[in-house]
Structure 1
Amino acid sequence: MGLYKYRPLSSNFEIRVINLCTEQDDLRFGQGPVHCKIEHVVLESCQLTEEARSGKPVKGFDGSWLSPTVRDVKINTDEAALNDLWPRTLSEIVSGTESLEIRDGDLPWRYVWGDYVALSYAWGDPTATHEIYVDGIRMRVTANLEAALRELRSHSRIQQGFRLWIDALCINQEDLKERAHQVTRMKDIYASAWNIAIWLGPEADDSDLAMTAMQYLSLRSKDLDPLRNVYHRVDKAIVDFKPIFYWRYSTVKRLMRRAVFRALYHLLERPYWRRLWILQEVALGCQNMPVICGTKCIPLDDIYQALEVIRIDGAELGNFIIRDVRGRNAMIKSWYRTRGDNYGISEKLWERPTEIIEGQIPVQRSKSVLYGGIFGALLLGREAFASDQRDRVYGILGLPSLSDIIKITPDYTLTPSQTFITFSRALYAGGDLNGLRLVASPVPAIGTRYLKLAMFSRPRSPKFVHNPRVISVGCVHVLPSWVVCWSCAQNPAFPLPRPGNLYPSTKPASKPVFDSNGVLMTVRGVLFDTVSSLSAFHATESESSYPFNGRSRDSIYGGHSATNEAIWRTLVVNMTQSGEEAPDTYNSILSPKLWDLGIGGVTRKLFGLSDFYWRNKRLRLFDRTLDVVISGRRSLKQKFLGVSENDTLRFPGNDQSGREAVMWAMRLLAWRRLVTTDGGYIGLVPAATKAGDHIVVVQGCDVPLVLRQDDECFRALGECYVHGIMSGEVLKMVEHRSVAMVDITLC
């Protein structure tokens, strides 16, 4: 990055730290170019001061950052006044700053050489660089890092003398051996830091407004109704001639103006939240980590509490945040238009930052049903950005859920493919096979041009559809199917929720066995069932043979009523978004009105239940088609009046619980096939699945997998949900010897 020549590190415990020059050193350093010095220090207990060893207070003992912080929020509960003041200026609602007085100035340092703060940030555009001075020598760094240093030199703790550890400056990036060694020490470096400062970037896109809004929502999160002064819903019965015709009109009145929502969007879309290395950096921090954006600073916990408010009502509040920047229909754009990256137009905008923060230890407040444990760590790393593909593996080794399990040494002389194989073998060696759920199986072509009128669900089958485009070809590298490829695009389907209490992990009785060539992996499992009938995975799937109906099978769930329950529970994988078992009220998902026409404000273009219905009406679900399951056996008069056997179901269009159920079902159904099996089960499987593929329960994997037989071995296609075998039922069958545990070789 410049002409600076690094002095080699002399021991395994030695690191470099940055002494940032501030106006406390010389008034000329308060403005102008950034000046700093590199110092070599040792992180060993022998370097601790006597006070630190004896547990006496040292500088920064209370963990406070003591920088200009958005604090003392005064909430105006008058909605009219809030509507007037909130968008124009926040100074009338949020005011005051934290005291800058340092009360521990006379205390000793933790180490004999001082103490340090680790910086968590995104490198930024490598072509946009600025000059700084390191030991008096000009050096070019990314513009984002230069802006961080320029801001940090005005913060009290840095002026007090706390050093900085910054990867781009403290590691000789040109020395691959040193780089690999320092990567193995990243966990210790961040864990040993006095604090970790998060730098989101310079002020832009009303970031000051967004930071204050985060503080406001954080305080609101403690209210019984945190959204009271954000918006409220208005439901009006326009036409009410029951039972023949009934129309409710629903609208939402905002109490915040668009400037706030736009500012929040841009703050959450910043590159920082998608950087790979921040996963372990944030996980090793604490709740009061300072989050700095421009000149504003708030504790990380305030960011978390605000994101929780958004996550509670992502279907409405989250939609406001996205559509005010990306357009009214942003959250319903087709996958091909996003080129596989839907971060800025989906729930991931607020869910990913939340899950990153929940990676901290101990996680007693986590409400995630998706992330957590080994699989959660893999998911977060899979969705992150890294300039070096090998860092997708090395960057998550320090995460708490992986650090004690995977013992590999970063080696930048290996190719990415070799790195992925090495990582997968180390991951599975302990018996946890949840990495198989991340298989990047192909997704067939869909038509990208079609006829779809506003009030009618089109297209039906592939009629009026053309311009087919393959969504994902899967992994293009010559890798075994059991290897997690971190370079190829991930499958677009939303990952199945974390098993939690509903789906207990299958305890591995034996570890997998690898062949001498590193191509085959043999595991223990049950070849439980095979796929029989499959739906189309998308309304415009180009293959006209879908829905595909295999041989008719009887439902193992019982009569029509029990089978209907199995169907709607499958559509929501028998869970709510918060992780509880799906309540009986979720049966409203089978309302015929919903499947016929959808619900305004809920149906997402070609991902709505109505679109799935029109494409898959002929899908046989045991002894009935989907059309009969939803609409029932109706006379001409009943069809004309819109009456069916399911009309006792509550129509979920205008209540929060119903809307959540519909949104959740659509999210899980997208890019998956609804299937029945030869054994009479119903489930959701990857789009790559075909008739005859095997449903397999593998020891060490929390959910069943779909495998395809290839001569004497099997290729993994991905995870699946099969209703009735998700709570350990197959293990009980093994105990009763109704099914057998066998060796399964994956290739």
Structure 2
Amino acid sequence: MMSVVTFTACDQFQSPRALANHESGSYTPLDEANDEIRLLTLEPPRHGAPVYCNLEKASLRHHTGEYSSFLRSIDHNRKTSRRAMIEWVRSHPPHPDHPPGEFSNGGNYTPSSNAYRFKWGDFAALSYVWGNDREAGQIVVNGTVMLVTKNLEEILRRLAANNEFRANYKIWIDAICINQKDESERASQVRKMREIYSSAWTVIAWLGESGEWTPIPDAFIFLRLLASLDHRQRDLRRLFDQEWGLLNENCFYMLHEMMKHEYWSRLWIIQEVVMGASCTVLRCGDHLLDWNTFCAAIAVLYHGHNWDVKDYMLAKVHQRGMSTDAVWQTLSLHLVHKDLRQLSRYEHEGGERLGFRRLLEVANSAHCRDVRDKVFALIGMMEPEIANEVVQAYSLDISRLFTTVTKAFITYYNNLEPLRQANPWGQHGAPSWAADWTWRGRLRWSRPETNPTGPSWNPLDSEPRPDTIYNAHSGRSASISFLNDCCLLRCEGFIFDEIAGLGAREHGFFHWAKESTVQSPTWRSSYGDEYATARALYRALIGGRIANGERAQDRHSALMSLPSTFRAARPQFARRGWTWLANRGGYYFKWERWRQAHNGFMLGKRALESYFTDTIPENAEESTFIDVFRGVERMVMERRFMLTKNGCFGWAPDDAYDDTDVNQVRVGDLIAIVFGCSTPLVIRRSAEHFQIVGEAYVEGMMDGAALRLIDDCECEQQFFTFC
């Protein structure tokens, strides 16, 4: 018998690390013109024997006559594949003897025979963790022994034991259904993965086996409870007090442990579960939880004061010695609520896809084995025209890949918004104008369009588009050309200022390097007298915007009386009954430590701390202080306070995770408006060209005011060539 070694699609861009040295098995080529894929069926288990599987080719175009008629009747081209399938499911209720439905969309985990869409039946797709590649499992496929990871073997053994995926209901699994030794086929199947997962009857998100050692089945029960709460019941503090026993700290512990599962740190799962949308099912052994219920439950944690409740509950568990974690590891919660929920909604309802900035944030939220997977694992999230261009870069080196992606977004949208994500600090040699998808400095909560957690916001509200927050270029269209084999970007704009002073740079997530401050003794405010300067200062510190990108108002001058330390703030918050702010002890450090590092920073002849007081006015409103607290907390991340030569202040890009002085913004760097980009950019001369250092905020210049400098002949419009 000939045996083969397989690798999951998430490994396909690296040199394979073989489980053992075996020759490749025989895979007959797929017919791309016929939209062919391979699908797996499982044979009944044999005692003491490997799992036996059958692998066969099937065409995604071989629809039944009834399904073809259905697609024509609903104008399939105007709907997402997932939406069309959901409508089909609802129009084909299962036979009375079919197992009951599992999904909140009215569908079933498995289709009844009258709902099969293809002449050969129907199929599901598996989303799972690679597992330890040093632990090999053995299965038999079409009579040939195949080595797979132990984790995949255990999944197949469970499915076979349950008599699943036999005959006409099949399953697609990347490690087996793709010929991993055929680079051309791998590239083709990467392009097709969006179609495969969005066309599957269901996507199975496998979270491991069940048993006494796993908390996941209990977490499923808790999640169903959270999702069932109506709007009046979603205050978990009140529910805990009134219905003790219904909620307790053990529930939160189970959920926390579930969200720590390595599945959520795998970048490829994003495309897989999103394409499944409401037809995705979380599975632990034989325990199931549908995707809509899961997302609705997680959203409850973002409601009102519930974010604090979850922290309090886990702390109680930690005190009892049940958990090693005293605080939540929240990356997976944010991934589900901020990204996967929104993306899967698109597949279900249609709408705008994620923009460039959000894709970069998603890429930073999870891990992959190969750097290029940061891009290719998210191909399905991109507009098809962009994805098609990016896939052509499949075999290019990393720097060319990053360049191709940025160019594709610039070309498709005909604007230069991607330059806001640019800097010269990447590690892979891409041009400064092409975002490095591995740069660690991007922080999700630093964005002015990002909806925060808290009592004033609906966690289900959509966020505004990033390009609608500011309008520094006054809507001027971009002039774009790519030179020197796309290594250079030529565009138009003008330089209007220069950095003259810099506050402390952030040092990691929790500290600021006070010694990095660069004072500007000659700086004089362009905003007017001290009162006008103070007004400009509070606007600058919150980026001129509050939640949902709404403009700051006069009442947000309350920032100037936001206490500099939590020790000074908490008694004042508590006395007023401002519970949410009084519970910010674990989050107040951003404002507190930024102030400590900048109190002595001089705005001309006056220290920054002299503009503030630690005493909250008696007539203050909690909602206003929540606004400014969240606003300034956001702006101090990924940004460095700056003074400009022309008497302005604002924010320059920061590089918090690099200890060198080289990869930092500098005094003397220029500030420019580039037409087609909604924010100013910090740029730097580099021989006969320029580098992009990153996006900037300049108070008073974020809504088109800088263009009057051209009209007044104070600045000259010019072409920039960025390298």
The residue type equivalent to 1:407 in the other structure is E
Q: Offset of 1:565 from its aligned partner?
A: 4.0
Q: Which of 29, 40, 51 is matched with 1:34 structurally? A: 51
SS in 2 for 1:272: helix
Residue pairs, 1:69-148, within 5 angstroms: 105-107=112-114, 109-148=116-155
The residue type equivalent to 1:119 in the other structure is L
Contact 1:220 1:227 in 2 (8 A): no
Q: Offset of 1:579 from its aligned partner?
A: 4.4
Match of 1:468 in 2: none
The residue type equivalent to 1:713 in the other structure is H
1:679 and 1:717, CA in 2 relative to 1: closer, same or farther beyond 3 A? same
Contact 1:209 1:260 in 2 (8 A): yes
Contact 2:423 2:692 in 1 (8 A): no
Residue pairs, 1:542-557, within 5 angstroms: 542=513, 544=515, 546=517, 548-556=519-527
1:565 and 1:381, CA in 2 relative to 1: closer, same or farther beyond 3 A? same
Q: Offset of 1:172 from its aligned partner?
A: 1.3
Match of 1:9 in 2: 29
Is structure 2 residue 560 aligned with structure 1 residue 590? yes
Is structure 2 residue 257 aligned with structure 1 residue 266? yes
The residue type equivalent to 2:436 in the other structure is C
Q: Offset of 1:374 from its aligned partner?
A: 2.8
Q: Offset of 1:535 from its aligned partner?
A: 1.5
Q: Equivalents in 2 of 1:421, 1:101: separation in Å? A: 42
The residue type equivalent to 1:5 in the other structure is G
The residue type equivalent to 2:26 in the other structure is Y
Match of 1:444 in 2: none
Q: What are the Cα deviations for residues 205-240 of structure 1, in whole angstroms up to 9, with x where unaligned?
A: 41112122222222226436443455579xxxxxxx
SS in 2 for 1:38: strand
Contact 2:331 2:365 in 1 (8 A): no
Q: Equivalents in 2 of 1:321, 1:162: separation in Å? A: 43
Q: Offset of 1:628 from its aligned partner?
A: 0.9
Q: Offset of 1:367 from its aligned partner?
A: 13
Match of 1:515 in 2: 483
The residue type equivalent to 1:164 in the other structure is I
Q: Which of 504, 507, 525 is matched with 2:493 structurally? A: 525
Contact 2:40 2:177 in 1 (8 A): no
Match of 1:610 in 2: 592
Residue pairs, 1:379-528, within 5 angstroms: 379-401=361-383, 403-404=385-386, 407-410=389-392, 412-430=394-412, 431-439=414-422, 474-491=425-442, 494-498=445-449, 499=466, 501-503=468-470, 509-516=477-484, 518-528=486-496
Q: What are the Cα deviations for residues 555-611 of structure 1, in whole angstroms up to 9, with x where unaligned?
A: 43x554554343333333344444444566544433253448454653558943222
Q: Offset of 1:669 from its aligned partner?
A: 0.8
Match of 2:173 in 1: 166
1:384 and 1:411, CA in 2 relative to 1: closer, same or farther beyond 3 A? same
SS in 2 for 1:118: strand
Superposition TM-score, scaled by structure 1 size? 0.73
SS in 1 for 2:490: strand
Q: Equivalents in 2 of 1:360, 1:260: separation in Å? A: 26
Q: Which of 497, 502, 507 is matched with 1:534 structurally? A: 502
Q: Equivalents in 2 of 1:350, 1:725: separation in Å? A: 36
Q: What are the Cα deviations for residues 238-286 of structure 1, in whole angstroms up to 9, with x where unaligned?
A: xxxxxxxxxxxxxxx9984332222222222223323222333333333
Contact 2:690 2:722 in 1 (8 A): yes
Match of 2:332 in 1: 349
Q: What are the Cα deviations for residues 102-133 of structure 1, in whole angstroms up to 9, with x where unaligned?
A: 8x745263111112122223323322332222
Match of 1:214 in 2: 223
SS in 2 for 1:381: helix
Structure 1 range deviating more: 583-592 or 666-675 = 583-592
Match of 2:311 in 1: 319
Q: Offset of 1:720 from its aligned partner?
A: 2.7
Q: What are the Cα deviations for residues 522-568 of structure 1, in whole angstroms up to 9, with x where unaligned?
A: 22223232222321134865562515234222243x55455434333
Contact 2:101 2:109 in 1 (8 A): no
Q: Equivalents in 2 of 1:696, 1:583: separation in Å? A: 27
The residue type equivalent to 1:527 in the other structure is I
Match of 2:66 in 1: 51
Contact 2:514 2:597 in 1 (8 A): no
Structure 1 range deviating more: 307-316 or 735-744 = 735-744
* Greater percentage in helix: 2
1:439 and 1:408, CA in 2 relative to 1: closer, same or farther beyond 3 A? closer
Q: Which of 302, 306, 329 is matched with 2:297 structurally? A: 306
Q: What are the Cα deviations for residues 283-330 of structure 1, in whole angstroms up to 9, with x where unaligned?
A: 3333242222333212211121122222335751453477568899xx
1:683 and 1:366, CA in 2 relative to 1: closer, same or farther beyond 3 A? farther
Q: Equivalents in 2 of 1:413, 1:326: separation in Å? A: 48
Q: Offset of 1:627 from its aligned partner?
A: 1.5
Q: Equivalents in 1 of 2:569, 2:350: separation in Å? A: 32
Residue pairs, 1:276-315, within 5 angstroms: 276-312=267-303, 313=305, 315=307
Contact 1:522 1:743 in 2 (8 A): yes
Match of 1:241 in 2: none
Q: What are the Cα deviations for residues 316-351 of structure 1, in whole angstroms up to 9, with x where unaligned?
A: 1453477568899xxxx9xxxxxxxxxx96653321
Gapped runs of 5+ residues in structure 2? 7-21, 72-84, 450-465, 571-582, 655-663
Q: Equivalents in 1 of 2:585, 2:126: separation in Å? A: 43
Structure 1 range deviating more: 483-492 or 118-127 = 483-492
Contact 1:20 1:153 in 2 (8 A): no
Contact 1:116 1:162 in 2 (8 A): yes
Q: Equivalents in 1 of 2:477, 2:396: separation in Å? A: 33
1:415 and 1:221, CA in 2 relative to 1: closer, same or farther beyond 3 A? farther
Match of 2:13 in 1: none
1:482 and 1:15, CA in 2 relative to 1: closer, same or farther beyond 3 A? same
Structure 1 range deviating more: 138-147 or 727-736 = 727-736
Match of 1:94 in 2: none
SS in 2 for 1:201: coil
Q: What are the Cα deviations for residues 381-440 of structure 1, in whole angstroms up to 9, with x where unaligned?
A: 243322122222222222144644761335554332332233333333343433333346
Q: Equivalents in 1 of 2:306, 2:351: separation in Å? A: 14
Q: Offset of 1:699 from its aligned partner?
A: 2.8
1:40 and 1:255, CA in 2 relative to 1: closer, same or farther beyond 3 A? closer
SS in 1 for 2:302: helix
- Count of residue correspondences: 632
1:10 and 1:256, CA in 2 relative to 1: closer, same or farther beyond 3 A? closer
Q: Equivalents in 1 of 2:713, 2:677: separation in Å? A: 21
Contact 1:51 1:108 in 2 (8 A): no
The residue type equivalent to 2:41 in the other structure is L
Q: Equivalents in 2 of 1:127, 1:148: separation in Å? A: 17
Contact 1:549 1:620 in 2 (8 A): yes
Q: Equivalents in 2 of 1:490, 1:121: separation in Å? A: 29
Q: Equivalents in 2 of 1:49, 1:741: separation in Å? A: 61
Gapped runs of 5+ residues in structure 1? 73-97, 234-252, 334-343, 442-473, 632-641
Q: Offset of 1:501 from its aligned partner?
A: 4.1
Q: Equivalents in 1 of 2:426, 2:109: separation in Å? A: 56
Q: Equivalents in 1 of 2:260, 2:601: separation in Å? A: 40
SS in 1 for 2:685: strand
1:699 and 1:293, CA in 2 relative to 1: closer, same or farther beyond 3 A? farther
Contact 1:681 1:722 in 2 (8 A): yes
SS in 1 for 2:346: coil
Q: Offset of 1:36 from its aligned partner?
A: 1.8
The residue type equivalent to 1:116 in the other structure is F
Q: Equivalents in 1 of 2:349, 2:521: separation in Å? A: 46
Q: Equivalents in 2 of 1:254, 1:560: separation in Å? A: 57
